[in-house]
Amino acid sequence: MQDFAGKVAVITGAASGFGCEFARIGAELGMKLMLADIEAAPLQNVAEALRAKGAEVATSSVDVSEAGDVERLAQETLDTYGAVHLLFNNAGVALGGLIWENSAKDWEWVLGVNLFGVIHGIRCFVPIMLAQNEPAHVVNTASVAGLISPQLMGVYNASKHAVVTISETLYHDLRLVGAPIGVTVLCPAFVNTGIKDAERNRPASLRNTEPPTASQLAAAAASRKAVESGRLSAAEVAERTFAAIRSGTFYCITHPRILPAVERRMRDILEGRNPRDPFADKPEVAVQKLP
C-alpha cells in the first residue's frame, strides 16, 4: 500500500501509545480516521487534537474483546466513510506472574483483548477489504513476546504468539485468493506506553478478588522498569510501522537487538535443545530468581 491520502484507517487502542501515533501519522498523510478505544475521554482528546490540525476523524467507544462492539465499529466505519483501507488491530493489555498462579479471569481478560480483538478485527474488516478489491493493509500489533517466551509472562506470551501465527495465516490465506491486501505483524520490545498501567481498563467483572502473589508483584515491577527504560518511543515505532506498510514488509521488528534471542529459540527447536533463558544476555530486564 503506497497511496494514503483520502484513504480510510481504522485504529483500535487509539487513545494512547502506538494507536495515538498511528493516528497522528495517518492524519499527516491525509487519511480519514476511525479511532476506537475503551477509554472514551482520552479518545476524544486525541480526536480533538487531530481535528484542530485539519484531520477528518470519527470515534467509537469499543471493547475489542466483544464481538458485537467490533461488528458495530465496522458498520460505523462504512456508514461514515464507505470503505476501509488500513486496519490497525492494536488494542492490548498485559499482566504477569508464574503461569500457574494466573487466574481464569486473567486469561479471559488478556486473551479477550489481545487475541480476540485481533480475531474480531480480521473477521469484521477483511471481508470489507476483499469486496473493495483495491490495495489495503492489515497491521496486527503483537510483540517480541510472540517470538520468544520470557518467564513470568505466560498469559501475555500466549496471546502474542497467537497473534503472530494468526497474522502469518492471514498473509497466506490472502495470497491464496489473490487479494491485494498486505499484512504486517508488529513485534516491538519494550516501549514506554500506557500498557504498563493496563489494569486501569480491566472490567470489574474480570478483576481478581485475591491480592496479587509475590511473583505477580515481581513481574509487574520488572515490566514497569523495562517499559519505562525503553529507548524507542511510540512515535518511532509508528514511523517504522508505516515504513513496513509502504514496503509490504510482514515482520516489523522494531528492536533488532532482540533478534539473537529469537535466533536462540529457533536454534533450540531445530537442534532439539531445552529452551534457554531469552533474557540471558539482558540482565537489566530479567526477573531475579524467585524464592
CB 59 within 8 A of CB 38: no
**What is the residue type of 218?**
A
Could you give the residue numbers annotated as active site? Answer: 156
**Structure-block grid coordinates of residue 54:** 485539519
Q: Give the integer Cα–Cα distance in Å for 268 and 71.
A: 41
Question: 180 Cβ partners below 8 Å, 6+ apart?
Answer: 133, 134, 135, 136
DSSP output for 237-275: HHHHHHHHHHHT-SEE-S-GGGHHHHHHHHHHHHTTPPP
Residues belonging to the chain: 291
Q: Give the integer Cα–Cα distance in Å for 237 and 25.
A: 11
Q: Give the integer Cα–Cα distance in Å for 238 and 246.
A: 13
E strand intervals along the chain:
8-12, 32-37, 56-61, 86-89, 136-141, 181-186, 251-252
Count the neighbouring beta carbons within 10 Å of the beta carbon of residue 81.
19
Q: Give the integer Cα–Cα distance in Å for 183 and 172.
A: 10
